[in-house]
Structure 1
Amino acid sequence: MRQGPSYKLRLLLEQIVNSLRSWLESVACASGNFICGRKQLQLSDKEIENLSIEKFIFHVVHHRNDEPILLDETPIGDFEDFFLKRAMETLRGNRFTFADGSITRTLLKQVMDDGSQFVPVSKTLAQTFHAGRDNRIKPGVMILMTLVTGQRKLLSVLKYDHEEAVTYEITDDAKAILKAIANSFTKSADALQKSALIEIFGGDDADSIVVVDKTVRHEITDFFRGFLACKRLFDDKQMTQAVEALVVEVVKKHQNDLPNDITQNVRDRYYDTVQKRDKFDAAEFFTEFFGAHGSAAVRASFDKGLVKKGMDGEVFKFDKGAVKKQRPQKYKTAEGVKIDVPEQASDTVKTATTAAGTVITITTSRLTSL
């Protein structure tokens, strides 16, 4: 069948639209606005308020025996609020996605598709978790939860270390008898060593994982990475450049409230900060970069920007080679006129080529004669 001109035109338009969409996504990634077609696990205040635990179970792992202790049921009782808070704390972790062929993803997808698979899958995961034994790993429990809020369904995997507790009983003759309880996990924040909050979508590339691994906060241990079979959503270079773009935005927004040594040297100041620090931690970085001038308003803009870029809670290793010292632009005309443009004034100078030559336009709030 011969295709008419309108059909060919429609095909051409579709190709143009698809090319334009790809170009826009690449520009967004390069500019540090991490859109890139990826969904990220973020919950609104309303979704957090309506979040509830649908299913809950734990199994005993890393207790120095060959096999984990697998349980058929572990009613959550009055502790739902406690475990909900632990799951929500994970939201301020590092972003990952499943690697190709992840068995853990396959198992968790079974739970999402068929609720009756929750307990069998949890046992398989516990066996896999337990198999990665290391003398440095403390005995504890691996917890699996499914959580719901509105139409969204999430999964949470937690590793709680056992904490040896000491209790006492007071007898009738006013004596206290101490008792050690080995198989217990406490509400101590330190007892929660590893946590992952997971949302699985239709395609493999769309899945979202947020991880907190207290053993190595800026990354993830090889053990937990192997268990999840995951990879970092953004690499260190992308995140280093994204923070630079954010700092420039924040300084520009609050330029009237910040001193010249910050507003006139944003990129150089960022470069120096990156070279001095190994890791990015939002609170520590903000304090070092803005110092006493980091007001509540500036901090609010900074935190909001991190959320917008999907980086709130991220801790990562700076890529020191991803940032460069900013050098002033220098021009010299054929007539011998020299123009030095510092970094902070780069957007005030425009050049345009005409038939008569190059036109240089400088916009300024005040001109001073030297």
Structure 2
Amino acid sequence: MAKESVLTRAEKDSFQIEKFIFHIIFRDDFKPEYLDEVTLNDSQEDFFKARFAEISEGTQFIFPEKATASLYMQCADIVADADANFIETSKRITHDFLKLHSGTTTDGVFITALVKVNGSHSLIFLLKLDHIKVYQYKVSKSKALLKEIKDTFSEDKRAIQKAAIIDVSDHYVWDVLAKDRSAAGSESGVTDYFKKFLDVSELATPSKLTELALRLASKWAKENVRDLDPGQEPSTYKSRAIAYLNSADKFDSEEFIKAIVYDVDPVRRAALQDSLKALMDELGLTGQEFRPNPGSLKKAQTKNVRETAEHVKIEWEGEAEESNIFIPNAPDEEGYYNITIRTTRITNLDRSK
């Protein structure tokens, strides 16, 4: 069965760069400056593996028509016979990218890499890196002289303008993970011209991703109830997820986690954030960028329901305390949950005749 997840930490740690090349792009030139070989030493290989790990998440896409998708076919050619096809295919991919981005891109390089995951599975990494000015300084008699250094690679994440990971197998449910720093305000998380270059469609709509985000938050709180702050009922975390989805203009994984996990204990907070991130990785939500659609959430999804051993049901919306409901996260010494409900009125809903 195809995996729903983005790349896990273990998969990132297993990266092996099998093939690597970059070609140089200039904003005002229609043709890239092509290279035929790039040699990486061990430290340089570690540098780029770290960059690849950083972008190993993003909005999930599929190739709707693989037989006619140029990029898919090019990546399939590389995976099928890298020794014969890698360099020339990387040039065609870079040319196609520049053709669609001419006049809108900036000076930089376009990287194509064939990366092995867990020693067996192959992925194609495509990165557009902008040139970032770097200054070297030299001190002489307490005075510093600055000299601009050109043609450098930077660890600054802002240098990664666009990135895509392509899987031409059926290993994952997605075909492409894509990130685009220029896509502020975009519905899909990437600019229209980058999406056109990739020739892809979104795997899931914003409505489906909104529902997934809430379902995931509820699942996580339920499964980790014993590890939560004893003073916070699981519905509190679900309520914060709903509040985030109602207010956010764009879904951001890190902000979503911070919004849900509020805890004054820094150790417990860090552990809970890690476990929530792990579940988001597993269900493929990490890195997805979309505009939440809270209108797609049905009442059955936003409502909280608890049932006791005696088959007594308690239902409410929002945080339990706001409805004067107090449910402990753990039983007392005798094994009982002491539930408290404070109210000024009780209505008999018995519909029997």
TM-score over 0.5 for the pair: yes
Contact persistence 1:265–1:344 (CA under 8 A):
no
Question: CA distance change for structure 1 residues 148 and 174 in 2, over 3 Å: closer, same or farther?
Answer: same
Residue identity in the other structure for 2:248 = R
Identity of aligned residues (%): 26
In structure 2, C-alpha distance between the alignment counterparts of 1:39 and 1:184, rounded to whole Å: 37
Residue 76 of structure 1: how far off its partner (Å): 2.4
Q: Does 1:276 align with 2:247?
A: yes
In structure 2, C-alpha distance between the alignment counterparts of 1:44 and 1:274, rounded to whole Å: 25
Corresponding position of 1:145: 113
Corresponding position of 2:152: 184
Corresponding position of 1:118: 86
What do residues 234-288 of structure 1 show as CA deviations (whole Å, max 9, x unaligned)? 2211211112112222333444645777545666554333222222223322332
Query: 1:1-370, aligned counterparts within 5 Å?
Result: 38-40=2-4, 42-43=6-7, 47-77=11-41, 78-100=43-65, 101-115=68-82, 116-149=84-117, 150-167=119-136, 179-201=147-169, 208-216=175-183, 219-255=189-225, 257-258=228-229, 262-264=233-235, 269-292=240-263, 295-325=269-299, 343-345=304-306, 348-349=311-312
Contact persistence 1:61–1:139 (CA under 8 A):
yes
Question: CA distance change for structure 1 residues 165 and 271 in 2, over 3 Å: closer, same or farther?
Answer: closer
Structure number, greater radius of gyration = 1
Residue 207 of structure 1: how far off its partner (Å): 5.5
In structure 2, C-alpha distance between the alignment counterparts of 1:365 and 1:40, rounded to whole Å: 37
Q: Secondary structure at the match of 1:292?
A: coil
Question: CA distance change for structure 1 residues 367 and 97 in 2, over 3 Å: closer, same or farther?
Answer: closer
Contact persistence 1:200–1:206 (CA under 8 A):
no
Residue identity in the other structure for 1:319 = N
Q: Secondary structure at the match of 1:317?
A: coil
In structure 1, C-alpha distance between the alignment counterparts of 2:235 and 2:11, rounded to whole Å: 41
TM-score, with normalisation over the residues of structure 2? 0.73
Residue 314 of structure 1: how far off its partner (Å): 2.5
Contact persistence 2:253–2:287 (CA under 8 A):
yes
Q: Secondary structure at the match of 2:48?
A: helix
- Give unmatched runs, 5+ long, in structure 2: 314-335, 347-353
TM-score, with normalisation over the residues of structure 1? 0.70
Contact persistence 2:5–2:283 (CA under 8 A):
no
Residue 208 of structure 1: how far off its partner (Å): 2.6
Choose 231-240 or 278-287, whichever is displaced more.
278-287
Residue identity in the other structure for 1:163 = I
* C-alpha RMSD of the superposition: 3.6
Residue 125 of structure 1: how far off its partner (Å): 0.9
In structure 1, C-alpha distance between the alignment counterparts of 2:261 and 2:12, rounded to whole Å: 32
Residue 325 of structure 1: how far off its partner (Å): 4.6
Contact persistence 1:267–1:325 (CA under 8 A):
no
Contact persistence 1:263–1:344 (CA under 8 A):
no
In structure 1, C-alpha distance between the alignment counterparts of 2:55 and 2:255, rounded to whole Å: 19
Comparing both structures, which one devotes a greater share of its residues to helix?
Answer: 1
Question: CA distance change for structure 1 residues 345 and 103 in 2, over 3 Å: closer, same or farther?
Answer: same
Contact persistence 2:4–2:284 (CA under 8 A):
yes
- Give unmatched runs, 5+ long, in structure 1: 1-36, 329-341, 351-363
Q: Secondary structure at the match of 1:92?
A: coil
